[in-house]
Structure 1
Amino acid sequence: MTQLAAPHHLASPSSSVTEVLSRPHDVTRHSMFADVSQLVRPRIAMMVLVTVFASMWLTSGSRELNWLSVVGVLFGTAVVAASSSIANQILERHTDRLMARTASRPLAAGRLSIRSAWLLVGLGFFGGCGCVWLAGNLQAACAAMLTWVLYVCVYTPLKRVTPLNTAVGAVAGALPIAIGWLAADGPQQVLAGDISAALAVASLGTVLYLWQFPHFMAIAWLYRKQYDLADLKMLTVTDPSGLRAAGQSLAAALAMIPVSLAMAVPSGSIRMFLTAALASTVYVLVSVNFAFRRDDRSARILLFTSLGVLLILMMSAVAFSAPKVLSGSYL
C-alpha cells in the first residue's frame, strides 16, 4: 500500500544511524492530531475507501444501493485500514527510526507505547471487520481480514527480504476492490448470469494492481538512499541504476491501457472509453520519461501523475456507469 508521508526534519538522508537514534524526541512539536494522522495515514485510507466505493457502485449496476450499507462498509474498511497502518508501524519502528521520512512517527519516536499500539490494532481489526460484516456480509469481512493479513504479515516483513515485496503489496492494495464487490453481492449476480458488473470490477481491480508499480517505483527512487540506510530491499536499492524499476513501471503502465479500456465495455460509455484511453496514455508517457531520465524530477512527475490518473479513472468509472437509486433518489 502507498506511503506518502512528507519528509521530516528529524533526519537527513545522509544522517548516520547514531545521529538519528541519539536525537531527543521533541514531543511538544507534535500535536495529538498530527500523531493520529501519522498513525492512520488518512491519505492512504481515503484511496482505499474510494476503491471500495467504486467497486460497490459498479457491482450494484442499476439496482438500488443502500446508503446505510455503503457508509457502514466504508467506515469498517477505514478502521481496518487504520489498524493495518498501526500494525505496520509497530513492526517497522526500528527501520522507521533510520529514515528521515518516517523517523518522527509516534512509535518510531517513542511517543506511543507498543502495548497501547497493539491495543489499537486489535480494536481496529476486530471492530472494523465486524462493522463490514454487519453492514455488508461475512464474505466482505473475510476480504477485509485477508487484506490486513497480506499487508501486515506478508508484505511488511518481505520488505526486508526481497524486492518482490512490491508485487505482494500491490495485491494487498488491490484487494479492497473485492471488499466492495462482495459487500454488494457480486457473486450472486455472477451466479444469476449477470457478468457485466463483475467484468467492470475485475478490470478496475487489475488497473489498481498495475497502477501501483509506477507509483511505488517513483517513491522507491525518491527515497532510495533512506531505504538503503534502513536495509530495506526495494528494487532501487538492489539495482541502484534504476533500470529494473523503470522497466517495471513502464511495463505496468503499458498493460494498463487495454485493461482500463475494458472498464468501459460493460457500460458501453464512450466517455469512459475516451477518459480511460487518455489517462492511461498519459501514465505511459510519464513512465517513459522516468525510464529515460531516472532522476528525482522525473520520479516526482511520475508520482504526482499517478495520483491524478487513479483519481480520474475511479471518478469516471462511477460517473459514467449506469444510474442507480440511492436512498430512494435517482442519481
Structure 2
Amino acid sequence: MSTSILTVESSTKALAARLADYLELTKPRIVLLELIVASAAACLAAPHTLDMRVLLFALAGTGLVAASASIANQWWERANDARMPRTADRPLPAGRIASGEAVMLSVLTLLAGMALLIWQVNMLTAVLGLVSWILYVLVYTPLKTRSPLNTTVGAVAGAIPILMGWTATGTPLGLTAWTLAGVLFLWQFPHFMAIAWIYREDYAAAGHRMLTVVDPTGMRAGAQAVLGAAALIPVSLIPAVVPTSGSPLLYLTWTLALGAILLGLSIRFAIFRDNQSARFLLRASLIYLPSWLAMLLVVTL
C-alpha cells in the first residue's frame, strides 16, 4: 500500500473522529428527544393544516439551538466532567476538542438556529428557543454546583421545546399546549431523580448539588419522584376531560395505566432507595413519554 493511500486513510479517520467529537458535544440523544416532542406538538396543534416546510425549518432551528445549549453546557462543566468517570472521556475534558472550538461551535449553532426560527418560522418560537437556551446554559448549568433547585430549572428548560413545536404552526398557546408542557415538566422529576441516584457518587465527585448528594439517604429524591409522578396523572388526563377529537376513554385508560405504573415505581424507589429500584424507574420513565405521546397522537389525528 502506497504512502499516499495511507495518508488519505489516516486523514479520513482523523476527520471522522473529529466530526464524531463535535456530534458528541451536541448531546444528540437529548436533541433527538426534543425534536420528537416538538414534532408531536406540531402535529397536535395543526393536525389537518400542518405546513411541512415550516415544520422542517422549526425542527432544524430547534435542533441547532438545543445543540448550542448542550455544547455550552459541556464547555462550562469541562473541569467538573473531568472528575466523573461517566463524563471524563467527553471531548472537552479529554482534550480532543479545544475550549475555543467549543465556544465558536456553540455561538455558530445558536446564531444559525435563531436565524432559522426568526425568518422561517415565527418570532414567538424564536423567543421560546432563546429562553430555553438562557435557562439551560446561564441558570441551570451554574446552579448545578450551587443548589438542588437546578433540577426544577432544568425541567422548565426541558419542557419549552414542546411549546416551540406548537407555536411553530401559528396556533395560539391554549390549554392543550400548556398541558403538554406540564406533562413534560413533571415527567422529568421521576426520570432525573432516578438518574441522580444511580450516578450520585459521580455527581458528588464533581461537586454537583443534586438532591441525592445533598441528602445521601435519598429520602428527598424519592419524595420528589413520587410528587412528580403523582402530579403527572391529573395533568396528563386533561386531554381526556377536555377532548378535541378521537376517543377520550381510550386515551384516559391508557394514560391512567401509564401514570399508575410510573407512580408505583416512584413509590418503590422512595421506599427502597437502591440502584435496582432507580433503574426500574428510569426504564419506566423512558417508556412512559413515547407511549403517552403516541396514544395522544393516535386519538387526535
**TM-score, normalising length from structure 2?**
0.91
Of 265, 290, 294, 2:273 maps to 294
How far 1:33 moved relative to its partner? 5.1
In the alignment, what sits opposite 1:19?
A: none
Given the alignment of the two structures, is residue 228 of structure 1 paired with residue 204 of structure 2, yes or no? Answer: yes
In the alignment, what sits opposite 1:307?
A: 286
Letter paired with 2:279: R
8 Å contact from structure 1 (residues 162, 234) kept in 2: yes
Secondary structure of the residue that 1:155 maps to in structure 2? helix
Return the alpha-carbon distance in structure 1 between the equivalents of residues 18 and 190 of structure 2: 33
Given the alignment of the two structures, is residue 239 of structure 1 paired with residue 215 of structure 2, yes or no? Answer: yes
Of 148, 151, 160, 2:136 maps to 151
Secondary structure of the residue that 1:105 maps to in structure 2? coil
In the alignment, what sits opposite 1:266?
A: 243
8 Å contact from structure 1 (residues 90, 117) kept in 2: yes
In the alignment, what sits opposite 1:60?
A: 46
Given the alignment of the two structures, is residue 178 of structure 1 paired with residue 163 of structure 2, yes or no? Answer: yes
Given the alignment of the two structures, is residue 253 of structure 1 paired with residue 229 of structure 2, yes or no? Answer: yes
How do residues 16-165 of structure 1 correspond to structure 2 at under 5 angstroms? 31-32=17-18, 34-61=20-47, 63-165=48-150
How do residues 164-203 of structure 1 correspond to structure 2 at under 5 angstroms? 164-187=149-172, 198-203=174-179
Return the alpha-carbon distance in structure 1 between the equivalents of residues 229 and 297 of structure 2: 22
Letter paired with 2:213: V
Q: Residue deviations 1:140-174, cap 9 Å, x none?
A: 01110110011000000000100011011100000
Cα distance, 1:319–1:32 mapped onto 2, change above 3 Å: farther
How far 1:289 moved relative to its partner? 1.1
Structure with the higher fraction of residues in helix conformation: 2
How far 1:177 moved relative to its partner? 1.9
In the alignment, what sits opposite 2:264?
A: 285
User: Please, which runs of 5 or more residues in structure 2 have no aligned partner?
Assistant: 1-12
Return the alpha-carbon distance in structure 2 between the equivalents of residues 40 and 218 of structure 1: 23
8 Å contact from structure 1 (residues 199, 266) kept in 2: no
8 Å contact from structure 2 (residues 21, 97) kept in 1: no
In the alignment, what sits opposite 1:211?
A: 187
**CA RMSD of superposed structures (Å):** 1.6
Aligned residues: 285
Q: Residue deviations 1:70-104, cap 9 Å, x none?
A: 11101111111111100000000000000011101
Letter paired with 1:311: P
Q: Identity of aligned pairs, percent?
A: 43
Return the alpha-carbon distance in structure 2 between the equivalents of residues 136 and 317 of structure 1: 25
8 Å contact from structure 1 (residues 267, 320) kept in 2: no
Secondary structure of the residue that 2:96 maps to in structure 1? coil
Return the alpha-carbon distance in structure 1 between the equivalents of residues 291 and 176 of structure 2: 16
How far 1:318 moved relative to its partner? 1.7
Letter paired with 1:266: P
In the alignment, what sits opposite 1:318?
A: 297
8 Å contact from structure 1 (residues 174, 208) kept in 2: yes
Cα distance, 1:34–1:101 mapped onto 2, change above 3 Å: farther
How far 1:37 moved relative to its partner? 3.7
Q: Residue deviations 1:195-222, cap 9 Å, x none?
A: xxx2222111101000000111111101
Secondary structure of the residue that 1:106 maps to in structure 2? coil
Return the alpha-carbon distance in structure 2 between the equivalents of residues 241 and 37 of structure 1: 37
Letter paired with 1:298: S
8 Å contact from structure 1 (residues 70, 135) kept in 2: no
Letter paired with 1:313: W
Letter paired with 1:31: A
**TM-score, normalising length from structure 1?**
0.83
In the alignment, what sits opposite 2:4?
A: none
8 Å contact from structure 1 (residues 217, 245) kept in 2: yes
How do residues 10-21 of structure 1 correspond to structure 2 at under 5 angstroms? none
